Structure formats: C-alpha cells, structure tokens
Amino acid sequence: MNTKSGAGLTEMIEDKIATLSDAERVVANFLLSDRQNIPFETAVSVAQKVGVSPVTVGRFCRRVGFRNFRELKAALRYDIGSEPWPSSTPRGAAGGSEALLKRDRDMVIAAISEVYQLAGTAEWNAIVSILDSSEEVLVAGFQTERGIAEHFAHTLQYVRPGVRMADLAAGSFADILTESGRGKCVVIVEIRRYSRQAKLLAERAAAAGFTIVIVTDKFCHWAKEYTPHVLALPDESALFFATLVPMVAALTLLVQEVVLRRGDAAKPRLDLVSELYQEFTGHVGQKRSRNNREEPDTSS
C-alpha cells in the first residue's frame, strides 16, 4: 500500500509525469483531468477511453507506487475528498458556455436517475424505517448543506413528531449528546470538504448509542466507520461547485417514503400543522381562520 495515499496524491502523479512512458503519461493526464469520474472507472474502462491496454494502466499504477488500479482509486478518492473545491479553478469547455452547461445538465440528470434507482433498495428501505420508527430524529447539517438539512427536518416535521435540528450555535452538541441515544437517530448531511464537527458528531453520537444516518457524497471515506446507513450520492458537476441537486432529491424522496409508510396515520398531523399555520400566519389570498376553511381575501 502506498504510504503517500490521500492528500497530495495528485501532486505526486504530476511530479512523476516526466519519468513515464508516452502511454503511461496518457493515463496520468486522464486521471488528473477527470478526477470526479474516477470512482466509477475500472482499469479496463480507463484503458478503453484513452486507447491503451489494461496492462499499461496496471504498469502506470505500479510506477506511481500502487499495486493495482483499485488501490490507486481508493487513494485518489480520499484525495478528492480533501480538496476545498471540486475543481481548483472554474473550468471551460470546448464549444464555450453552452457546451459546458449541456455537459453539466447531462451529468445532473444521470445523478438524479441514480438517486431514483437507490429508492427501494434494501439500504434505502432500512433508512426509511429508521426515519419512521425512531423515537426522535435529530438532524445536523454543516456548511452550505445546513440549509438543505433544515429543509429536510422542517418537511419531516409535517409528517411525524420528534424531529428537530441540532443546535450548531453552541458548538458542543450538548442538546444531543447529553441524552440517551437509545431509540433515537441522528441524520448528518455533509459533503466534501467535510467539517470536522460532522465527523466528531458521528463518532460521539455512535458511542452514545444513537442510530446514525449519513447523507453525503461518494468520496466520504469516514462515514462507514460509524454506521452502515450511508447514502453516498453523486455530486459530480461540469461547473465549479459540486451539484447539490441529487442530495435535495434524495432527502425529498425519503420524506415521501415516510409519508407512504405512515399512510392514513399521517393525515391528522398534516391537517393539524396546516390548520395551525393558517391560524397563526396564513397564505396569500386567504384570511387567517381558526377552522382552516379557505376564505378568499376580498378587501382589495
């Protein structure tokens, strides 16, 4: 196993390019230029795409210090997850902005399709069961993903009681970790570059007996250390930032599955939440009403 795996691997490959054969240099350039898709490649698929033999791909891996492509891919996966941005600089594309947007659209559509394929799998159903049956569901989101986590928590609150956001302002998660974790779950929403808080919360919550669900990207190398309940979602994009669309789709579908699982039992709570909102706040074009009847606003 290469001792230099992890952060700095791409720099190591770049440093060795001058010592590689022409065929090996083609492999190196491919890995460096399309790193977001490497987790989905094999030695054979890389060889086919760059026009060399699988033997050449294997020889390249050994030249840079790995036994095989699988080992290099694992290290590159860690390396990508340690970077501050999905790509170091905003990328252009042959054909200009229109071609870039088309490539990004195709990637996002493929990612959403993958999310829908996950729905209904044994792994997915296990997470739905946790969200449905846990005594409490505590949700924590970090960095720019916090807003997505809040949307998920607030939507799930319509369907079932005992759902709340973790208090990040205090910084210690005392609102979670001072309680017994038995019968409760913690949902952590986070993608690279991973907050130290997210990993530490997973570690401490697992030790306290909480069931952990982690919704993350495919490069998260630490999630499986704390739970088998991991939704590793695609976030590849042709744009500068990773796409969060697949994550929003997955969290939306999870709430939908909880609604379906609860069936008619969810309706009284949904009706009550709607009635309370109408009474205290109301909607455009409707007067506030204690009995939740729609009353058109005729004042204008």
* Per-residue model confidence (pLDDT) at position 56: 94
User: CA 194 to CA 239: how far, in whole Å?
Assistant: 20
Nearest residue to 189 (alpha-carbon basis) of 160, 168, 208, 170: 168
257 and 139 in a common domain: yes
Nearest residue to 220 (alpha-carbon basis) of 244, 249, 203, 198: 198
Tell me if 295 is assigned to some domain: no
- Look-up of token digits 């939507």: 155
Tell me if 297 is assigned to some domain: no
- For 294, counting Cβ atoms within 10 Å of its Cβ (0-12 exposed, 13-18 middle, 19+ buried), the class is exposed
More confident residue, 204 or 111: 204
Nearest residue to 189 (alpha-carbon basis) of 150, 226, 234: 150
pTM of the model: 0.70
152 and 33 in a common domain: no
* Per-residue model confidence (pLDDT) at position 230: 94
Tell me if 249 is assigned to some domain: yes
Tell me if 293 is assigned to some domain: no
DSSP string, 187-205: EEE--SSPPHHHHHHHHHH
How many CA within 13 A on the CB side of residue 181? 18
One-letter amino acid of 105: R
234 and 149 in a common domain: yes
Please answer whether residues 27 and 56 qualify as being in contact, where contact means their C-beta atoms are separated by less than 8 angstroms.
Answer: yes
The average confidence (pLDDT) of the chain is 85
193 and 68 in a common domain: no
Tell me if 96 is assigned to some domain: no
145 and 272 in a common domain: yes
Label residue 285 left, alpha or beta by phi (over 0 means left) and psi (-120 to 50 means alpha).
Answer: left
- Look-up of token digits 């004042």: 299
* Per-residue model confidence (pLDDT) at position 139: 98
Query: In the predicted model, what is the mean pLDDT of residues 246-252?
Result: 97
How many CA within 13 A on the CB side of residue 150? 8
36 and 153 in a common domain: no
Instruction: Give the number of domains in the chain.
Output: 2
Q: 69-102: per-residue pLDDT in tens?
A: 988 887 776 665 555 555 544 444 445 578 778 8
Q: Which of 48-62, 161-175, 281-295 has the lowest mean pLDDT?
A: 281-295
Q: Which of 48-62, 83-97, 132-146 has the lowest mean pLDDT?
A: 83-97
What is the domain extent for residue 172? 109-280
Tell me if 291 is assigned to some domain: no
Q: 101-130: per-residue pLDDT in tens?
A: 888 888 889 889 999 999 989 999 999 999
Query: In the predicted model, what is the mean pLDDT of residues 221-229?
Result: 91
Residue 288: pLDDT band by 50, 70, 90 thresholds?
A: low
Q: Which of 13-27, 28-42, 95-109 has the lowest mean pLDDT?
A: 28-42
